[in-house]
């Protein structure tokens, strides 16, 4: 049996989902990860497209399956992220929802072995309980148009808030950048990335305080 020893410093799992390496979405993930490292904390960056992650849930991976058995690749993925303090989802909004590959990551990795009854009862999660969740998203549409469709509120309710409740996490945050289209000025891009870095710096500070309090209580 593998014994998991938590890292002595805060760790952030950044789950990135976009096929283009030169995208604004990738730049957001890099900006967040860079600030975390500047703060002396650790980053576990999971680029789902670069990994060629398979989002298709296998029959035996269904939590209610009589022969439930996660594949070796899923067990290995969980081992990489289980000790992280903060989970950061970075993705574009496509047709009103996260990319299918990210949804598959939720089903196969974050939701591995989680029974629907446990979700309804808000039972403790094997490794996500009390962990932070923050999402950074981008869309070509304006906030006004998205709000007219009820898009941002729906996404935060049906995805962010649901994940927090289903996996016993805490404090979901969602930072959205509208009007991200081809030909953006570098100044506009850098201003938005500064927002990402500011959020990362604040979270790092909060985690540092929490870790100090935890050591003081020991």
Q: 116 pLDDT band (50/70/90 cuts)? A: confident
pLDDT at 6: 47
d(CA 150, CA 106): 23
* pLDDT average, residue stretch 141-164: 92
Q: 69 pLDDT band (50/70/90 cuts)? A: confident
Q: 1 pLDDT band (50/70/90 cuts)? A: very low
pLDDT score of 26 more than 80 = yes
* pLDDT average, residue stretch 133-156: 93
Is the domain defined by 11-217 classed in CATH 3.40.50.360? yes
Q: Where are the domains of the chain?
A: 11-217
Burial class (CB in 10 A: 0-12, 13-18, 19+), 89: buried
In angstroms, the Cα distances linking 164 to 15, 35, 125, 217 are 16, 24, 11, 26
pLDDT at 213: 72
**Which candidate, 173, 175, 178, places its Cα nearest to that of 144?**
178
Which residues 6+ apart lie within 8 Å of 143 measured at CB?
152, 176, 178
* pLDDT average, residue stretch 153-174: 92
* pLDDT average, residue stretch 170-199: 95
Question: What is the DSSP secondary structure assignment for residue 60, as one 8-state letter?
Answer: G
Q: Percent of the chain, pLDDT > 90? A: 78
Which residues is 16 bridged to in the sheet?
47, 90
d(CA 58, CA 61): 5
* Average pLDDT for the chain: 91
Using DSSP's 3-state secondary structure scheme, residue 91 falls into strand
């Amino acid at each position: 049996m593998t014994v998991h020893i938590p890292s002595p410093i805060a760790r952030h799992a950044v789950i990135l989902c976009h096929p283009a390496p030169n995208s604004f979405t990738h730049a957001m993930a890099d900006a967040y990860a860079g600030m975390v490292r500047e703060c002396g904390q650790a980053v576990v960056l999971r680029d789902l497209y670069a990994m060629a992650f398979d989002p298709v849930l296998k029959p035996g991976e269904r939590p209610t399956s009589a022969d439930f058995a996660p594949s070796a690749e899923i067990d290995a993925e969980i081992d990489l992220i289980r000790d992280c303090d903060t989970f950061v989802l970075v993705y574009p909004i496509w047709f009103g929802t996260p990319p299918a590959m990210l949804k598959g990551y939720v089903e196969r990795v974050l939701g591995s072995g989680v029974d629907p009854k446990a979700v309804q009862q808000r039972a403790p999660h094997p490794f996500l309980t009390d962990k932070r969740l923050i999402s950074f998203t981008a869309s070509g549409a304006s906030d006004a148009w998205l709000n007219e469709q009820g898009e941002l509120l729906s996404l935060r309710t049906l995805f962010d808030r649901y994940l927090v409740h289903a996996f016993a996490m805490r404090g979901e945050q969602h930072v959205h950048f509208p009007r991200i289209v081809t030909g953006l000025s570098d100044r506009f891009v850098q201003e938005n990335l500064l927002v990402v870095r500011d959020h990362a710096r604040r979270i790092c500070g909060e985690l540092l305080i929490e870790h100090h309090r935890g050591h003081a209580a020991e």
